[in-house]
Amino acid sequence: MAKTTKSRTAPARVNEPISIEPDIKVAPGTMLLKLTGINKSFPGVKALKDVSLEVVAGEVHALIGENGAGKSTLMAVASGALVAEEGTIEIGGETLTPGSPREARRLGLAIVRQDPALLPDLTVAENMAIGAGLTSKGGLKRAPEWAQAHLNPWQMGIDSRARVSDLSVEQRFVVEIAKALALKPRILVLDEPTEHLNKEEVQRLFRIVRTITGGSAAVVYISHRIPEVKEISDRITVLRDGAVRGTFKASEVSESQIIELVIGRALDTVFPPKGKSIQSGADDKLVVSNLSGRGFHDISFSVKPGEVIGIAGVQGNGQAEVIRALAGVEAATGSVTISGKKLRLGSNSAAARAGAVYVPSDRHGEGVFMPLTVGENIVMKTLRAVSTLGIVRDSWVNKVAAAQIDRQSIKTPSTRTPISSLSGGNQQKVVLARTLLSEPEVLLAEEPTQGVDAGARVDIYQIVRGAADNGAAVVILSSDGVELEGLCDRVFIMSRGTIIAELEGKKVTEAEITRAELTSTTERKRNDELRSRSTRFRNWMRGDSSPAAVLGIVVLLIAGLVGATNGAYFSPFSLNSILFTASMFILIGAAQHVVVLGSGFDLSVGPLLSFLVVIASFFVIDGGNIFIGIGLMIVAALAVGFVNGYLTTKFNLNPVVVTLAIALALQGTLFTMRTVPGGIITPAVTDLIFAKIGFFPVITIVAIVIALLLEWGLRRSRFGVELRAVGSRIEAAERQGIKVKKVQLISYVVTAFLVMPTAVILMSQIGIGDGRPGLSFTLTSVTVVVLAGASIFGGRGSFIGIIAAGILVAQILSVPTFLGLSGAWGYWLPGFITVGAAILYAQLRRLRRK
């Protein structure tokens, strides 16, 4: 498949087989994982009820059940990611302290989640090294080779030096598996591993599973797909509604017996009568043809007024994406027609105007406006109806809301109650009331009864059917087969991004739906174009260092242009002065870059710089004690950095506001210390700083060396990798066991410390204790960081880029002098480059993602 890249990216000798078998050898049948009496609840739901499970060496133990049956929750408890209220976990005979993922990993449990915990801005090798705890003692240097050896057996063409964000979904998943296997686990948990893989890759996975279970390890295999489960597993445990329904030998149960156990529930809810008002002769209200987008393709169907359509399928097969595309919240191609009018795709407001109303499944994040009241939430979609001349009438709001509260039997003390204090079911009814008020043409509901109690469910079914009876076309996405059976006139089953079956009339039963879902063997359509066609140049362009080269070219171009207009530009004096200024910009940019890498921000670097200069002007003078002065400067820098970091990380405060406040406090302090400039810096120091080789300032060489050392630390040291991990994806870094707050705190201290050398240079340049010149360095530091191409959201960027950007900014700021431009350019140039570069890089990144 991807043989072309394999030979180039992998050195020959790492093609030798690598060991993925556990170091501790045990006989088959030895108990490896023992869960006893696990109870776990989430607000409103009991997720696990007294669950016990035993997994022994040498077996593949399948865990099956419907969505929400508790499989993934159980494994999250076993791996220490979640803490159960009751129950014990034993791994390899040792009891696990609840909620300690690191300990679980040490005891030999590795988990591969559906949603890989990878850090997108780091390379594959760095991700694997963090996962395996190999970030110290030169481990990072050897990581690419070591990681490549683990990836090669998969033949997916993954280069261990590539950035994870450049990989396809299935490649990422393989990295996640390889990362788990590299730990040589005694128990490997695979959560829905085949969702992202094609047939050939599934067989490769099965071969690996059989290899490791041939020895001293066990595999826990979570899946919906019963044919695959039958093929690979030795024993099967069925979970339903959070409880174990039995453990069986795979060879002793049939596919249909398993399905029965998985469902095992009678229709016990009251549903409104179906389809009494489908206008069979009427024109289709909603026509979808050849709709394709991220996660789904070639979807075509039509819905009549009064009809309720269900979309079923195992979670993550593109159902949600289809609904969201219809609502215009996500982009798509193809055509959608509502009541005969063609809809502009990818625009939520166009969809809303056409009468398509979307009820999202993420009620907290997308459904309700949490801090607002019940009344405000109810009328949000129909503000026009409760206002005159654009002014909302509160009395009308209350009247309309009260009527809806009454009609949909929403339990709330008043219309002015914050919606956050209502139960999940009542919040959902508010969302539906809002939806119905707008008299939808098309109702798109995603999991409308998720997390809703039984009583509210019945009400919601009535509301949904009522909308259809009023002539709407209704599309419901649900993972509850009972609900689909009871509510829908027709059901489409989706698998791997496309519709694989349609059930109609009497065939709309839970058993049929589940059968279609579970026996599907479709393969995910691959867009082969998207696979990594990595060339050396392409990889380099995608890397962190490419901006440095581009900036270097820009520097030469500007030099040529300005030099052609004014010959004095190339004089040793002017080159020296530009490079001298550049040394400060490199260092202050590097300082800002450290904190930005970890998703922080520091507006206090400029004032801190001034503050340090002013401190120096009292000690680093003729007759003063230079050492005390330097010592005080270091202490002050570290203290400021610590305060910044402590306040932002300890109390979760906005870094911009904290560092801005600190910046102004520093300004106040320094202007109190030196109301007017004073204190001549001793030539003993300034002469040292002004030393040069030819026209090249020594201090610029020092600044470049410092930046290179920082770059080395960023790539090779544990802190560097952890800092980038935190900036890249904070929750994934947390899941990997990185102490996020500590890393961020240290980054603020390092930033402040790096202001110190800049202060020494600046004080030599101005020669006197003056607080003003330093203040503008905050903007300069941001300009340098943005120009260097660092993501301002953290995680990526290089100090090489900082060197180039520092020189470029120094050069640009010198341009007005040489071209005789007005002082305004001193402001315009940094302003325009900062904004321009930020826009440019944001666009490049967007293009790259496509």
Partner 1 sequence: MFAKTRTNAESASAMKMESIWRRVLGGGQAPIWIATVVLFAVSPLVAPGSLKASALLSMLPFAAVLAIAAVGQMLVIQQRGLDLSVPGMMAFGAGLVTGLSQWYGWPVWASIAGAIILPAIAGLISGIIVTRFGVMPLVVTLGMNAILLGTVFALSNGTPAGAPQEIADFTKGSVGIVPNALIIAVVVIVVGGFIAQRSIVGRKLTAVGVSERAASAVGFRVTLYQTMAYALAGAAFGIAAILYAGYVTTPPLFYGDKYLLPTITAVVLGGTALTGGRAALISTGVAALFLTQLGQLLRAVGWQESFQLIAQAVVLLIVILARAIVPMVSSSIKARREATESQTVRA
Residues 763-782 that bind partner 1 (CB under 8 A): 779, 782
DSSP secondary structure, 652-674, as one string: ---HHHHHHHHHHHHHHHHHHH-
Contacts to partner 1 from residues 393-422, by CB under 8 A: 394
Q: Is 669 in the site for partner 1 (CB under 8 A)?
A: yes
Give the separation between CA 517 and CA 319, rounded to whole angstroms: 12
Residue 660 makes contact with partner 1 by CB under 8 A: yes
Please identify, using beta-carbon distances, which residue of 18 and 329 lies nearer to partner 1: 329
Residues 811 to 830 in contact with partner 1, rule: CB under 8 A: 822-828, 830
Angle of CA points 209, 213, 217, to nearest 5°: 115
Q: According to the binding rule CB under 8 A, does residue 712 interact with partner 1?
A: no
Q: Report, in Å, the least distance between residue 221 CB and partner 1.
A: 35
Nearer to partner 1, 304 or 381 (CB): 381
The answer to whether 133 and 738 have CB atoms below 8 angstroms apart is no
Query: According to the 3-state scheme, what is the secondary structure of 435-497?
Result: HHHCCCCEEEEECCCCCCCHHHHHHHHHHHHHHHHCCCEEEEECCCHHHHHHHCCEEEEEECC
- Please report how close the Cβ of residue 336 comes to partner 1 at its closest, in angstroms: 15
Q: Are 666 and 608 in contact (CB under 8 A)?
A: yes
Comparison of 506 and 846: residue with beta carbon closer to partner 1 = 846
Tell me how far apart the alpha carbons of residues 684 and 688 are, in angstroms, rounded to a whole number. 7
Query: Which window, 202-210, 333-341, 388-396, 756-764, contacts partner 1 (CB under 8 A)?
Result: 388-396
Q: Does 850 bind partner 1 (CB under 8 A)?
A: no
One-letter amino acid at 7 equals S
- Ordered DSSP codes for 322-333: HHHHHTTSS-EE
Total number of residues shown for the chain: 850
- ∠ Cα 18 102 45 (to 5°): 115
Site for partner 1 in 586-615 (CB under 8 A): 601
Gap between the Cα atoms of 409 and 423, Å rounded: 13
- State in angstroms the smallest separation of the CB of 372 from partner 1: 6
Q: Which is nearer to partner 1, 267 or 392 (CB)?
A: 392
**Residue 549 found at the interface with partner 1 (CB under 8 A):** no
**387 scored as a contact of partner 1 (CB under 8 A):** yes
Closest CA relative to residue 93, chosen from 180, 187, 213, 181: 187
Chain positions 290 to 329 lying near partner 1, rule: CB under 8 A, are: 327-329
**Residue 794 beta carbon to partner 1: minimum distance, rounded to whole angstroms:** 11
Query: How many positions of this chain bind partner 1 (CB under 8 A)?
Result: 75
Question: According to CB under 8 A, which one of 207, 668, 705, 709 is a site residue for partner 1?
Answer: 668
Site for partner 1 in 430-469 (CB under 8 A): 434
For the CB of residue 388, give the shortest distance to partner 1 in the complex, in Å.
10
Smaller CB separation from partner 1, 391 or 693:
391
Q: Does 844 bind partner 1 (CB under 8 A)?
A: no
CB 760 within 8 A of CB 685: yes
Question: Is the CB of 99 or the CB of 831 nearer to partner 1?
Answer: 831
Cα–Cα distance measured from residue 715 to residue 142, given in angstroms and rounded to the nearest whole number:
12
Query: Residue 668: phi, psi to the nearest 5?
Result: -60, -45
What residues pair up with 55 in beta bridges, in sequence order? 33
Stretch that binds partner 1, among 137-145, 258-266, 498-506, 644-652 (CB under 8 A): 644-652
**3-class SS at 243?**
strand
In the complex with partner 1, the residue whose CB is nearer, 537 or 651, is: 651
Short-list 563, 774, 758, CA closest to 674 = 774
| By CB under 8 A, residue 834 contacts partner 1 | yes
Query: With respect to partner 1, which residue has the nearer C-beta, 561 or 839?
Result: 839
Over the window 95 to 114, marking each residue x when it contacts partner 1 by CB under 8 A and - when it does not, the resulting string is --------------------
Q: Binding residue for partner 1 (CB under 8 A) from 6, 40, 224, 381?
A: 381
289 Cβ contact list (under 8 Å, min separation 6): 300, 334, 335, 336
Question: At closest approach, how far in Å is the CB of 472 from partner 1?
Answer: 16
Smaller CB separation from partner 1, 376 or 517: 376
Q: Which of 156, 162, 740, 786 binds partner 1 (CB under 8 A)?
A: 786
Binding to partner 1 by residue 831, rule CB under 8 A?
yes
573 binds partner 1 (CB under 8 A): no
- Closest by CA to 32, choosing from 214, 216, 235, is 216
Q: What residues numbered 181-210 form the site for partner 1, per CB under 8 A?
A: none
Smallest separation (angstroms) from partner 1 to the CB of 135: 29
Distance CA 530, CA 702 (A): 44
CA distance linking residue 472 with residue 466, whole number of Å: 9
Report CA-CA distances (Å) from 750 to 451, 593, 794.
46, 10, 16
For position 652 contacting partner 1 by CB under 8 A, the verdict is yes
Instruction: State the Cα angle at 650 between 661 and 82, rounded to 5°.
Output: 145
State which residue, 126 or 376, has the beta carbon closest to partner 1: 376
Q: Out of 17, 138, 340, 390, point to the residue binding partner 1 (CB under 8 A).
A: 390
Using the rule CB under 8 A, give the single segment among 242-250, 370-378, 488-496, 509-517 that binds partner 1: 370-378
From the list 14, 243, 380, 632, which residue makes contact with partner 1 (rule: CB under 8 A)? 380
Q: Does 511 bind partner 1 (CB under 8 A)?
A: no
Tokens of 202: 């599934």
Q: Indicate the residue among 258 and 397 with the shorter CB distance to partner 1.
A: 397
Q: What's the rounded Cα separation, in Å, for the pair 616 and 47?
A: 63
Pick 44 or 264: Cβ nearer partner 1: 44
Residue whose structure tokens are 């591969």: 112
The verdict on 539 binding partner 1 (CB under 8 A) reads no
Q: How far is the CB of 325 from partner 1 (least distance, A)?
A: 13
C-alpha span between 532 and 430 (Å, rounded): 46
Contact with partner 1 (CB under 8 A): which of 14, 18, 653, 766? 653
CA 377 to chain centre: 29
Instruction: Supply the DSSP symbol for 195.
Output: G
Site string for partner 1, 334-363 (x = CB under 8 A): --------------xx-xxx---xx-x-x-
CB neighbourhood size of 831 (10 A): 12
183: which 2 tokens?
A: 């730990």
- Cβ proximity to partner 1: between 281 and 371 the closer is 371
Residues in region 670-699 near partner 1 by CB under 8 A: 670-672, 675
